[in-house]
Amino acid sequence: MMLIRHLLAVSLLTASSAIWADALDINLNNNTAQFQYSTANGFNAQGKADIHLGVLYNNVNSVLINAGLMVANNLEGAPGLSIGVGMEALAATIKDNPLLKSNASAVAVDAMVRYSPPGAGQLGLVGELHYAPRILTFGDAVRYAQPGARVEFELSPQAMVYVGYRRVSFGIKNAPAAVLDNGGFVGFKLAF
């Protein structure tokens, strides 16, 4: 009986590694660090589903935690172009606003466009937008926005480096907007 349980466990682990791929994404600048863990389902006929969980914090101890799902697909007839849509839940403790400490949460709608020019090898250009209007924000927030862009270079199928720009901000009730990050960053992504 114990042998059957061990064989079942090994077969489930083997099957899950064939279906799911994990990645760790770390990026930072002088004021902000972000850590993201993601797992991707590679056999989805409608596209590649990416489930992610992460944290972003800055030099004044503001913290943003997020978890979400992004589904991306290559466009037929447009080599190198892929688009993605998804949603994520996020919660933040914001200390960037000099008037008060704020707690905010949101359900953001996400969009992504990635283009890898033909003949450019391992180079990719990515644009992203994460947005939550007033109806999808809670606590002290009245909106959430995170636009960004980056240039990626694939070192190997398991390693990528990139440089980019992003702005992470919350609109706050009866106070100025709180900006958790606004600037360039460098990062790397490791798949395993």
Tell me the average pLDDT across 98-127. Answer: 90
Question: Could you read off the pLDDT of 46-89 as tens digits, one per residue?
Answer: 567 899 999 999 999 999 999 999 999 988 888 889 999 999 99
More confident: 122 or 65: 65
**pLDDT, position 4:** 37
Residue 99 pLDDT: 59
pLDDT of residue 42: 56
* Domains along the sequence of the chain with CATH: 2-191 (2.40.128)
Q: CA 59 from chain center: how many Å?
A: 20
Question: Is residue 176's pLDDT more than 70?
Answer: yes
Mean pLDDT for all residues in the chain: 87
For the segment 98-110, the average pLDDT, to the nearest whole number, is 88
Radius of gyration of the chain (CA): 19
Instruction: Quote the CA–CA distance of 66 and 132 in Å, as a whole number.
Output: 13
**Cα(73)–Cα(82) distance, integer angstroms:** 5
Q: Which residues contact 150 (CB under 8 A, 6 or more apart)?
A: 125, 126, 162, 163, 164, 165, 187
Greater pLDDT, 96 or 140: 140
pLDDT at 135: 97
Above 60 in pLDDT, residue 150? yes
124-137 burial code (b ≥16 CB/10 A, e <16) = bbbebebebeeebb
- What pLDDT shows up at residue 77? 81
